[in-house]
Amino acid sequence: MAIRIREFQTAQEAELFFRGGIRGGRQVSNQYGRVQNLHGLTLIINAVVVTLDETIGAAGFGAGLTMLEISTQITAAIPAVTSFWANGYLNLVELAPQLGVTVDAAGTANSIFGFSGSTDAIGTVIDGPSIVSFNSKPSKDGYVAVITEA
């Protein structure tokens, strides 16, 4: 059993981690913008293929999709997973955390959202007994957790 120290900038980021969620590694848009060139591209989340469709977006084909439209399409395909946006980054988490979220490397939209195209992104639910300590950092600029990993 290994002990790991994890640092988080926000409580929301810590919660996402503990609940087995994952965050894309690329800021794709500001809150008012549209993400372009998504039509027909896929995200494979928990073994379910989500094909992004610009024709469903309010502005029509070729205009891109808003963050809300992307989230709506993910939720429609995978009701057990919710998606939300923080500072332009896509976050995915199970509504009732059990195993965590996995984004398969084979998704054709991975690079747009900052997920790997060569390695699956895997979130692991961290349960209570695995959390040794969770505190705000003395510098008041985030949080630190000490966890055990098998």
Q: Where are the domains of the chain?
A: 1-19+125-150, 23-117
pLDDT at 58: 64
Structure confidence at residue 55 (pLDDT): 78
Query: What pLDDT does residue 57 have?
Result: 61
pLDDT at 65: 87
User: What is the DSSP annotation of 10-52?
Assistant: SHHHHHHHHBT-EE-SS----TT--B-S-TT-EEEETTEEEE-
Residues of the chain with pLDDT under 50: none
